[in-house]
Amino acid sequence: MALSLEVRAELAPEPQLARLLDAWQQGQLVGVCGVGEGERLAAAMAGCPPLAAPGVVIGSGGSRGGRRWCVQPLAHLQASARATAAWLQALGLDPAACLQLNPLPLQHTSGLMPVLRARQWGGQWRWLPPQLLRAPAELAQAVPLPTDRPVLLSLVPTQLQRLLADPAARRWLRGVAVIWTGGGPLAPDLAAWARREDIRLSPCYGATETAAMVTALAPERFLAGDGGCGHPLDDVTLRLNPADGAIELRCGRLSPGWLAADGSGLRPFAEPGGEGWWASGDAGQLTAAGLQVLGRLDGAIHSGGETVFPEQVEQRLKALAAAAGLPLADLLLLPVTEPLWGERLVALFRPLPEGGDGGSSGVAGADPPLREGLIALARRLPPAQRPLHWWTCSSLARTDTGKWQRPRWHEWLRQQHEINPEPR
């Protein structure tokens, strides 16, 4: 028998956690999703074969290929917690002595894992309500940090940026022993800001499919200037595909598969006969400092004979804009077909409130000073990386976990400008 839980991020999670833990005690498979996803989750779970052990079905939002419902046995989540404990011990931290603060919703692996870690390690756990992350000036007063134990925290870059913008929140962040950052690329300017403030970030890499992080950079190495996501945890082996640079990994906690939306059953992640290796879909490099993530392979474009990773271009342009003092709040690059080049990037951007956007029309040229400044900065990039068009989009925003809902912005571009971007 399977149980399905729709999690409301704005509500305290304890009652929902109690249902989840009770179901696991009874050996059940539990589906966890956000509001409005219950029917799709139930349809997928209808085709799940019987499992001999408790587990969770949880959505993977990291792929542009669409949402997938991943099956993770409870034993895999526990193995992930053990690997994280070993990583902390290597830093000289006792996992059982740590307090874990959790600002991420339970329907995401990074929101579920702090609960499992605390229970397995014998440590403490506390939920951070979303409203506190949206009002960072109140955070330090509402959640004073203990002085007798290390504090662990997981943030997505969007949350980190919001907290860094407030002096009181910056002081509060300095008291956290480890701040794992993942769920999206950490922009160079954001990393530099955190280093200047002596904030102990640990950029990491992982996926729902791997029961959370598989690599993490030690905070000391981050503060010393190392980039990337660090070295693999002790239960993970990494390699790069020589053909396309795809990050491939092997570990005992890889999900056995994902449930097809039509209820037709379980589809394995690992390739048959592939000795347990899984291709993540991300391109990367392995350096002395560890893993460097270049971007999604299914998001890479081929423009004028060059391979371009839009996420890297976004980061570069945002760093240039910050250095130039331009009032840029966020930037998204989407690919479009172009006869001469094959593919080109187009840019959607949202100004900061003082940037002069002044409305919600979203028409081209709504903010000429910022737009012209971005175009000038883009001339520093190689031709294949320069956006073909620039459009102000005052509603442009990421999800609460820092990801882009790309189909939504594809549709916005089609409706506002009658352009059909490449469906990635």
CB 130 within 8 A of CB 82: no
In a domain, 423, yes or no: no
Same domain, 246 and 114: yes
Boundary-marking domain end, from 296, 331, 360: 296
Mean pLDDT of the chain: 88
Question: pLDDT category, 371, cuts 50, 70, 90?
Answer: very high
Query: Is 242 in the same domain as 280?
Result: yes
Note whether 306 and 205 are same-domain residues.
Answer: no
Distance CA(195)–CA(199), nearest Å, equals 6
Write the DSSP symbol of residue 404: -
Based on the fold, state whether residues 181 and 207 are members of the same structural domain: yes
Select from 296, 326, 349 the last residue of a domain.
296
Would you place residue 423 in the very low, low, confident or very high pLDDT band (cuts 50, 70, 90)?
low
Tally of domains in the chain:
2
- 151 with 246, same domain? yes
How many residues are given for the chain? 424
pLDDT at 137 over 70: yes
Residue 327, φ and ψ in degrees, nearest 5: -80, 65
In a domain, 422, yes or no: no
Q: What pLDDT, on the 0 to 100 scale, is given for residue 424?
A: 53
Beta strands in 312-354, from DSSP E residues, in sequence order:
328-338, 342-351
Determine the Cα–Cα distance for residues 311 and 301; give it in Å rounded to an integer: 11
Domain that holds residue 353: 300-417
Q: Both 226 and 195 in a single domain?
A: yes
Domain stop point among 271, 296, 321: 296
Question: What are residue 416's phi and psi, to 5 degrees?
Answer: -80, -35
Residues 200 and 315 in one domain: no
The mean pLDDT value for 40-60 works out to: 87
Mind listing the pLDDT tens digit for each residue in 201-254? 999 999 999 999 999 999 999 999 999 999 999 999 999 999 889 999 999 999
Q: Classify residue 215: in a domain, yes or no.
A: yes
Confirm whether 18 is domain-assigned. Answer: yes
Is 232 in the same domain as 368? no
Average pLDDT over residues 44-62: 83
Q: From CA 125, how far away is CA 271, in angstroms rounded?
A: 37
Could you tell me if residue 77 is inside a domain? yes
Domain membership of residue 94 (yes or no) is: yes
Regarding whether 143 and 54 lie in a shared domain, the answer is yes
In a domain? residue 125: yes
Give strand pairing partners of 3: 30
Q: Confirm whether 424 is domain-assigned.
A: no
Instruction: Clarify whether residues 306 and 292 are in a common domain.
Output: no
Count of CB atoms within 10 A of residue 135's CB? Answer: 14
